[in-house]
Amino acid sequence: QQQQQQQAEDSLEPALTYSLYGVLAKERLAQGTLPLSPKTSLRWLGFSAECTPLTMDSHGVIRALVYSGQAAVHSGHIAGQWVPVAEIPVQRPVQQLKRRQQQQQQQQAEDSLEPALTYSLYGVLAKERLAQGTLPLSPKTSLRWLGFSAECTPLTMDSHGVIRALVYSGQAAVHSGHIAGQWVPVAEIPVQRPVQQLKRRQQQQQQQQ
């Protein structure tokens, strides 16, 4: 029943009545029904450069009043019908609002996610695990490099160029017993993403041409 009701509603085509008047003749040239697409409203009404009456509904469907025979708008009574001649993609306000809200929610969800890896730091001489925990990364990035500084401080760099160092608590060092610390951003190197590199390369090629 719901499907039948939905089909019945979809088959209903809203319509308005119209009257076309001749300004010079001061008489009504045509009248009738102004058809619209199902579940739409009239968005625009006007004339083409050739004085053909045109309408556009809220779905972007453009209709023209096609005359019968050689009749013209400016000559006597005319007979014709409204025929769809084009369709322009039009976003409804509700759809625009929903899409914008979805995009904002998706962006907020992506921004709130911070990818992370787990790590374990081992002492080679002691043959034991010195530290372990989470290896933080910037949002929407991946691990680009992992190593040590000249002072044996563990370092990481993600795909956004953010460099982090494992800062120890107290006087502990990598080579002495178990250590406790946290990864702290210490520098950032400008890194071009592949898409940016491609766009810049294309721009340079276009400028050279």
Query: Which range, of 21-35, 70-84, 118-132, averages the lowest pLDDT?
Result: 70-84
For residue 114, which of 82, 150, 143 has the smallest C-alpha distance? 143
Statement: residue 34 has pLDDT above 80: yes
Cα 195 off chain centre by: 17
Q: Are 158 and 142 in contact (CB under 8 A)?
A: yes
The pLDDT confidence band at residue 141, using thresholds 50, 70 and 90, is confident
3-state secondary structure of 136: strand
Statement: residue 1 has pLDDT above 50: yes
Q: Each residue of 71-96: pLDDT tens digit?
A: 444 445 566 789 999 988 876 666 67
**Which pLDDT belongs to residue 19?**
87
**Which pLDDT belongs to residue 50?**
87
**Which pLDDT belongs to residue 174?**
45
User: Which whole number is the average pLDDT over 118-146?
Assistant: 86
Q: What token pair was written down for 43?
A: 């968005």
3-state secondary structure of 67: strand
Q: Are 117 and 123 in contact (CB under 8 A)?
A: no
**Which pLDDT belongs to residue 172?**
46
**Which pLDDT belongs to residue 91?**
64
